[in-house]
Structure 1
Amino acid sequence: MTATFTTTGPASAAAANDYCGGRCLDILPPGENGNATLAEIILNRMFGTRPAHTDDQLGPYAALAAGYPGLTEAGLRDFFNDASFGVPADQVASTTSPRADVTIVRDKATGVPHITGTTRYGTEFGAGYAAAQDRLWVMDLFRHVGRGQLSGFAGGAAANRQLEQTSWQAAPYTEAELQQQIDVLAGHGGRAAQALADASAYLDGVNGYVKAAYDGRYFPGEYDLTGHIDPITNAGTIEPFKLTDLVALASVVGALFGSGGGGELASAQVRSAAEARYGKEAGDAVWKSLREADDPEAVQTLHDGQRFPYASVPDDPQGAALPDPGSVVPERMVYDATGSAGSVATGAPGVLPGNLLSARHGMSNALLVSGAHTDDGHPVAVFGPQTGYFAPQLLMLEELQGPGISARGAAFAGLSFYVQLGRGQDYAWSATSAGQDITDTYTVPLCTTDGSPVTTAANAYMWHGSCVPFDRLERKNAWSPTTADSTPAGSYTLVMYRSKYGLVTARGTVGGAPVAFTSLRSTYRHEADSIIGFQELNDPTAVHDAASFQQAAQDINYTFNWFYADSRDIAYYNSGTNPVRAPGVDPGLPVRAEPAYEWADFDPAANTARYTPAAEHPQSVNQDYYISWNNKQATAYTTAGFGNGSVHRGNLLDDRVKALLKDGGKASRVSLTRAMESAALADLRAEDVLPDLIRVLRSAPVTDPAALTALQQLEAWLANGGGRHETSAGSHAYADADAIRVMDAWWPLLAEGVMRPGLGDALFTALTGALQINESPSGQTGGTGPASANESIPHKGSAFQYGWWSYLDKDLRAVLGDPVAGPLARPFCGAGDLAACRSVLLATLKQATTLTTAQVYPGDGDCAAGDQWCADTIVQRPLGGITDAKTTWQNRPTYQQVVQFPSHR
């Protein structure tokens, strides 16, 4: 790839090139400062004090939950930062120049670094220096996570080991393979070579700060607490950062937010269980209807009739290889365990959540309205990524101004040599995770190279007619006790086996023959490739309108929905390296590992293939509006996994934007922000399924006193909007608290009561493995059975992404006699009989009323049992020694922009 761009020359004046006119805002809690010395950590633990700018964005962010109904144009700045370029002279808090060719200015309000370089090298050096000032410890954690080496660096707590294992399972790279990604990029020349030069300058800045902080003894105190540096003598080291660290960091980001697919085994187990329950033909019909791969009722980002066929479900799948029931065993990863490695749980907290990479995470959202439908004729956007809540954040804010670079926004710590989500001179951009299917599961026949009997333990496989050994990838980890982690000493070896068809994730049998199930991801060995697209988004000569934005988004290989707004246009593009599959292959099922079913032009040595061209990716310019909350992109663009049906949390956004524009209505920054926040406080179950439930229950008189009281509470809550609002700002109590408690208790019981009798135990259990039943705000709903077992991330904010809302909605509407497009293949509630269905609903509602508040909200390390508001609260999970206050629940992006550009270059 080649391109023309400026690499030398003076940086332009930031203010002169800012076309937003003060109408660009953003927010990123808890605060910009993510570093604390040992003394500051001790003071925090003793007295609750925090270093400056550690949590100063948390209050405004949290306050929007109560403040949005009365929001005004002037009041936006009470809840968001001014995201203008530059810093007014009276707002400068500090100015530093780690080199003569770069200046870092920090503002008084937030402490965000505004980096201006007179050379490109100086600009990137300053970016690295500022990143280390704000996120050095987090950067160090994640370069170790990306290598599967967290326990040896930060202690052997169970959570640390769990996290490094899931990271190693997704991207088990040797050092040579990390370097290979860099070498491949270097060979492309042009923008790729410039990107590596930028990254090298950035690392020089990081390492420059590391040396200065170590010599000056103002480095993060976590190095003392974990034994890397002696707090008395200062003996110890902070290892310098290198380019391969950035690839390791990128692999973590890709695994968290930029991949899709891989659920083929779970889908196959649902299909097998359905066939066992109903017979092959009827079972396959049930499986397809539960999968909802291209549901006609699903909310879509593109709603103007556009079609973008991809990953379609064939009527007669070719090469599908379903595992024998009960044969699948997850691949063993841990070998040679000693000491505390043999303990499943130690009680010691990890430095990061153990399920950070393995648990399902809710993601980002976007609302954009074209200029034809806004108050002043210029587009409006309210958008941002949902990256979770941590202290400090995984993201950091920055402004970069230098030759060929002009942007302000957010970037992942350690990868902030470019702004990844933010604004340029006259445009802004953001993304939501798309998750389209770029990961396939192959069923690989096992064999032995010595002719011995083949079992599922064999470590060789058939490749194009020959028996070849798997690659064995190892990572040896050992840890000692530290002051931050009381786990006893231990060690183990992480092992992953790799074939030409990808990484071995499980073993089992197909038709009685031993096989390995492998995961082949198109971005594996290519995590660094997206650097080019991000470089273009930061370059004002590369992106200057909607079309050039879409071109930059094409150069990002992660699966994201990209959104753009300037003073004239809004635009959308879905990125990702979408492999071209063999004809007839169903990407939602495991496929036989044979040449006939490989990706087109598949080259296993480089893990490359033929990919769908840009024209086949969902894209659009100036649709009346766009919404995205990780929902379906477009008609015929088949979604990966389960859960994109008639009720999706994307409906919460879509309904509100439609209401804004109804009868010629015009959107503004204020009204679009209100729409976002209204959706952020909505209970999806109440808004889109409770009306169906009430109709069924009210189809005959309700005579049971407890059920009637609960029903009346639910009806009153629905009449009040079905949201989860505090009675007043800071009250720590919900309006309609009893109804909310009833719904939280009822939903898991309801879903099980409606669906399990028809599904049967085996299919019910298989379906919960493919799609969890509930994702409540608390993430820890009490009750019985598997309904609550897979809500594994409490206090995470994001909610209602994963659940059986669509199944119940479609089934209940069918029972009521309503038309249902894309119905379930069979009735479930009361086997389709209204009176019998009503009995199920009444019985489960009565059961819900018997649960105490303490049972519904069982409590944890952050909240007492029975504290409803606290159970829902957002906790900024500490990644280091500083902790932050809990805040009221909101279901909104972590980093968020509110933009409306009045002019353009």
Structure 2
Amino acid sequence: MRRRIGTFIGLGALAATLVVVPPQAVGQAPPPIDYCQGQCGDILPPGQNGNATLAGILAHRVLGTRPAHSADQLGKYADLGANYRGLTTETIGKFFNDASFGVPAGQVESTIKPRSDVTIVRDKATGVPHITGTTRSGTEFGAGYAAAQDRLWLMDVMRRVGRGQLSSFAGGAEGNRELERQFFASAPYTEEELQRQIDEVKNSGPRGAQGYADAAAYVEGINKYISEAHSGRYFPGEYVLTGHIDAITNAGKIEPFKLTDMVVLSSVVGAQFGGGGGGEVQAAIAKLAIQERYGVEQGEEVWRSLRSENDPETVYTLHEGQSFPYGKTPANPQGAAMPQPGSVSPQQTVFDEVGGQGASVKPAAPAAQEPARDMFADGVLPADLLSEKHGMSNALVVSGQHTASGHPVSVFGPQTSYFAPQLLMLQELQGPGISARGASFAGVSLYVLLGRGQDYAWSATSANQDIIDTYALELCDPSGAPATKESNAYLFNGQCTPMEVIERKNSWKPTLADGTPAGSYTLRAFRTQYGPVTHRAIVEGKPVAYAALRSSYFHEVDALLGFQEFNDPDAVKSAADFQRAASQINYTFNWFYADAQDTAYYNSGANPVRHPNADPSMPIKAGAGLEWRNWNPATNRADYTPFEQHPNSVNQDYYISWNNAQAKDYAASGYEKSAVHRGDLLDRRVRALIDSGTKVTRVNLTQAMAEAGLADLRAEKVLPQLLRVIESAAVTDPAAAAALTKLKDWQSRGALRAETSPGSKAYADAEAIKIMDAWWPLLVRAQFEPGLGTPAFTAMTGVLKINESPSGWQNEVPGKHVGQGHQGSAYQSGWWGYVHKDLRSVLGDQVAGPLGAEYCGGGDLAQCRTLLLNTVKQAAAQPVNEVYPGDGDCSAGDQWCADSLIHRPLGGITHDKISTQNRPTYQQVVEFAGRRQPA
């Protein structure tokens, strides 16, 4: 160990001598009028700076130091959960950055001019770049330059992920390989197809031409920084630790960026946060299992109740009865392509695999081998980055009629999980036709994607309405021989058409080796006119391929035009202007807007107009005339629902969103949108403020958000019904009574997962929280499995997991612990609504939209009560080290650590754990005091 540390220090000293600080200059244009007047704040942990030189990484590993501005927003973010009750107007700045335009003279940390027509000023407090261009091209050049300054390594990694080439770049760790498989399967584009998407936007009109010019200048700025940083030796140290650049000679290369990289990065972002639908094959398997249990007629009723397609008890963002029909199952669906039970198999994507795994590519310098092994042994990015939902984004927006100032108040932000560096980055852009500050995804930050303009602010949550349909394509053999599930041709317009095969070859070298490849494989995607193949199966005795058709497929950058308008003060002068801009975004988002006078909401996405008899929740037979209206397979364009058919509103009394249902009759994908949803935690608190006559302020709206972020949804919403059943008779069992007393005491204190004191790393109601965590999977299985039967119950857990507590360890599969990676998102997916409805039915309550059968105790109250008592006793007796079994970050039994948020390192710098908060990653607190006067 001593020799290793000495080696680290020696290499660090060498690297330090090679670092050249870029030259600085002075001078910037004054910012435009800021109508927020100091009442705009934001936060994005852990910090703005996501780049570290080799010297910085080694110093961090040996001495524990971190580069400036890499962690200075983490403490602010973490502290709100423990201190929100005492929040005041004077102290709110302790938990959020000042998001005003410009930088006061005394707060300037650095000023540079990477080109004569742009100035980048960074402030002392956060290091955020404030980019001012005298030309539009200069502004965009500066945006690219600043993005590379702050996120170059991350941007490089993400463009490799999107191309299915991460393992060749950063090593063959299983996490890298799984992630590139997922993204490649979703968007297997060729370079020519990426360029075609750029050309289509460029030729779409004046806005498109401007977007192309902006993107070109942005990429030019990235490449200018790459050139300077490489020659000056202040590039990210991960390039040395993965063998791309030699620490001694500086030999090696950082590949310049291309415009097509932006398409790739857009597809990565869209796949994670802006898609909706899919999963029809898993849904079909579950539906068939339910029909096998109950028969076709009752099975259909049970299935539709569990589908929660338009649950009358769910919480809506538009709560004034507005109806926006979309995506619903037709009364008499046709053309469902249901698989033969047991015949479904996932489409293989990995071929020609040779050798084992390597933690990273071969480093150029022996001294760099150990940190490279440590950093990338599990992969550069989490393997479930695409497969797991990322949905803590939330919004609370209150109109001026209910606020103390008479101006709208907003607390809102997206959730992009916790990484170091963060996938998002902060910036301010000021130039001709651009005036905004906020967050953007690294690598596509030519515009502010979520933030504020001169007199308005906006944000988004993932909407997840269904823009993906699965089609079953009958397989064939061009030779005329009988087709099998392995056949790679399909019937299209009556012709046996070969599938397109898109390949990516990956090979990697081990950390310690002689340079021969340690492993290699080929990724192979099978594409059809209906999109990439996801599964193979037998349908009505014939082999088929299931293909996923996404409306944004081959249109990954179409959203650029809407974001361009968000940043243009001449394009957005009103709530209506904002809604029209949002309508140009083809990804599925809920958009929220506020200025000094108005609030607004709009749901975006390219919603295809479906055949009236096609069921979008099930696989559909291809070629049966059930395709999208006017669908053109050559361009993947179709008719889309018009503006007015998307959920939209102006000046509703308040809006909340936590990835809940948008409006009545709007069938967003997601079975969790039932009688109990995480959105209830926000809705109840905001409605209570308004109903009580309390005037809303930035302080109490932030408090409502923060408290909801600590609340246990199960304890707040479902526990009262559990207690009603249990206490329908006297509880005489001492163990059960003791457990229930703890739960009720916790409930009386708000059912929060709150520390005993700030920084204690222990919960005030630790035992009650442990009981609830252990009880939930036990009671759900005991409540539903006997009625559904094991096959149907298991199939439904594949469609909707039953539990998503902050730690995530309590899984529906006995003996199998699947953690959620300390990513914070809790209570988005679960059987909360099913449990709630079923218990009320057993109690004899009137239930709107009841389940298709009664489950708890077979519908018998006494038997249901016995079931709940037995499972709560079992939960109370379960050892804490089984409830929280530990992982690579936490010891078994450490409850606080199991729940804790960890910024997963995407490079060489790590960060301390923080206490759980079910809260957006980037968040704004906004109240505008004035607005521009009409021209």
Specify the TM-score bucket, using the shorter chain as the normaliser.
Answer: over 0.9
Q: 2:291 aligns with which of 270, 275, 278?
A: 275
Structure 2 match to 1:633? 662
Structure 2 match to 1:821? 848
Give the Cα separation in 2 of the matches to 1:617 and 1:25: 30
Counterpart residue type for residue 801 of structure 1: Q
Q: 1:139 Cα shift? A: 0.4
Q: 1:81 Cα shift? A: 0.2
Counterpart residue type for residue 853 of structure 1: V
Q: 1:790 Cα shift? A: 7.8
Structure 1 match to 2:502? 473
Give the Cα separation in 2 of the matches to 1:14 and 1:440: 50
1:658 matched to 2:687? The reply is: yes
Q: 1:98 aligns with which of 107, 114, 117?
A: 114
Q: 1:14 Cα shift? A: 5.0
Moved over 3 A (4+): 11-16, 482-488, 787-792
SS of structure 1 residue aligned to 2:91: helix
Q: 1:15 Cα shift? A: 3.9
1:156 matched to 2:172? The reply is: yes
Counterpart residue type for residue 562 of structure 1: W
Structure 2 match to 1:890? 917
Q: 2:196 aligns with which of 180, 183, 196?
A: 180
Structure 2 match to 1:556? 585
Q: 1:266 aligns with which of 273, 282, 298?
A: 282
Structure 1 match to 2:209? 193
Q: Is the 8 A contact 1:359 1:792 kept in 2?
A: no
Give the Cα separation in 1 of the matches to 2:901 and 2:113: 37
1:797 matched to 2:786? The reply is: no
Q: 1:704 Cα shift? A: 1.9
Where do residues 770-809 of structure 1 align in structure 2 (5 Å cutoff)? 770-781=799-810, 786=813, 789=816, 791-809=818-836
Structure 1 match to 2:794? 765
Q: 1:788 Cα shift? A: 8.0
Deviations 1:474-496 (A, max 9, x none): 11111112479999711101011
Q: Is the 8 A contact 1:433 1:561 kept in 2?
A: yes
User: What is the RMSD computed on CA atoms of the aligned residues?
Assistant: 1.7
Where do residues 299-448 of structure 1 align in structure 2 (5 Å cutoff)? 299-340=315-356, 348-448=377-477
Deviations 1:57-81 (A, max 9, x none): 0000000001100100111100000
State the aligned residue count: 892
Deviations 1:235-260 (A, max 9, x none): 10000000000000000000000000
Q: Is the 8 A contact 1:350 1:485 kept in 2?
A: no
Q: 1:112 aligns with which of 113, 121, 128?
A: 128
Counterpart residue type for residue 857 of structure 2: G
CA shift in 2, pair 1:649/1:427, >3 Å:
same
Structure 1 match to 2:246? 230
Q: 1:664 Cα shift? A: 2.6
SS of structure 2 residue aligned to 1:46: helix
Structure 1 match to 2:309? 293
Q: 1:511 Cα shift? A: 1.6
Structure 1 match to 2:264? 248
Q: 1:787 Cα shift? A: 6.4
Structure 2 match to 1:503? 532
Q: 1:45 Cα shift? A: 0.8
Q: 1:539 aligns with which of 563, 568, 580?
A: 568
CA shift in 2, pair 1:605/1:825, >3 Å:
same
Structure 1 match to 2:91? 75
Give the Cα separation in 2 of the matches to 1:193 and 1:597: 36
Structure 2 match to 1:88? 104
Structure 1 match to 2:883? 856
Segments of 5+ residues of structure 1 without an aligned counterpart are 1-10
SS of structure 2 residue aligned to 1:295: coil
Q: 1:786 Cα shift? A: 1.5
Structure 2 match to 1:4? none
Give the Cα separation in 2 of the matches to 1:439 and 1:419: 27
- Structure 1, 187-196 or 786-795: larger mean CA deviation: 786-795
Give the Cα separation in 2 of the matches to 1:122 and 1:412: 20
1:593 matched to 2:609? The reply is: no
Where do residues 569-648 of structure 1 align in structure 2 (5 Å cutoff)? 569-648=598-677
Q: 2:858 aligns with which of 831, 834, 840?
A: 831
Structure 2 match to 1:8? none
Give the Cα separation in 1 of the matches to 2:511 and 2:461: 38
SS of structure 2 residue aligned to 1:597: coil
Q: 1:878 aligns with which of 905, 908, 911?
A: 905
Where do residues 450-461 of structure 1 align in structure 2 (5 Å cutoff)? 450-461=479-490
Q: Is the 8 A contact 2:168 2:507 kept in 1?
A: yes
Give the Cα separation in 1 of the matches to 2:206 and 2:587: 21
SS of structure 2 residue aligned to 1:422: strand
Could you state the TM-score of these two structures normalised by the residue count of structure 1? Answer: 0.97
- Structure 1, 314-323 or 235-244: larger mean CA deviation: 314-323
Structure 1 match to 2:18? none
1:203 matched to 2:219? The reply is: yes
SS of structure 2 residue aligned to 1:810: helix
CA shift in 2, pair 1:787/1:93, >3 Å:
farther
Q: Is the 8 A contact 2:171 2:358 kept in 1?
A: no
CA shift in 2, pair 1:646/1:14, >3 Å:
farther
Deviations 1:614-671 (A, max 9, x none): 1100000000000000000000001213110010000000000001101433211001
CA shift in 2, pair 1:510/1:14, >3 Å:
farther
SS of structure 1 residue aligned to 2:644: helix
Structure 2 match to 1:842? 869
CA shift in 2, pair 1:227/1:715, >3 Å:
same
Q: 1:265 Cα shift? A: 1.1
Q: Is the 8 A contact 2:807 2:819 kept in 1?
A: no
Structure 2 match to 1:649? 678
SS of structure 2 residue aligned to 1:515: strand
- Structure 1, 465-474 or 23-32: larger mean CA deviation: 465-474
Structure 1 match to 2:777? 748
Give the Cα separation in 1 of the matches to 2:870 and 2:901: 33
Q: Aligned residues: percent identity?
A: 63
Structure 2 match to 1:720? 749
SS of structure 2 residue aligned to 1:74: coil
Q: Is the 8 A contact 2:51 2:236 kept in 1?
A: yes
Q: 1:227 Cα shift? A: 0.5
1:124 matched to 2:151? The reply is: no
Give the Cα separation in 1 of the matches to 2:380 and 2:48: 19
CA shift in 2, pair 1:487/1:892, >3 Å:
farther
Counterpart residue type for residue 571 of structure 2: A
Counterpart residue type for residue 153 of structure 1: F
Q: Is the 8 A contact 1:314 1:584 kept in 2?
A: yes
SS of structure 2 residue aligned to 1:493: strand
Give the Cα separation in 2 of the matches to 1:485 and 1:413: 35
Counterpart residue type for residue 455 of structure 2: D
Q: Is the 8 A contact 2:49 2:150 kept in 1?
A: yes
Give the Cα separation in 1 of the matches to 2:468 and 2:150: 35
Give the Cα separation in 1 of the matches to 2:882 and 2:235: 45
Give the Cα separation in 1 of the matches to 2:922 and 2:415: 7
SS of structure 2 residue aligned to 1:664: coil
Counterpart residue type for residue 653 of structure 2: D
SS of structure 2 residue aligned to 1:146: helix
Counterpart residue type for residue 256 of structure 1: Q
- Structure 1, 790-799 or 579-588: larger mean CA deviation: 790-799
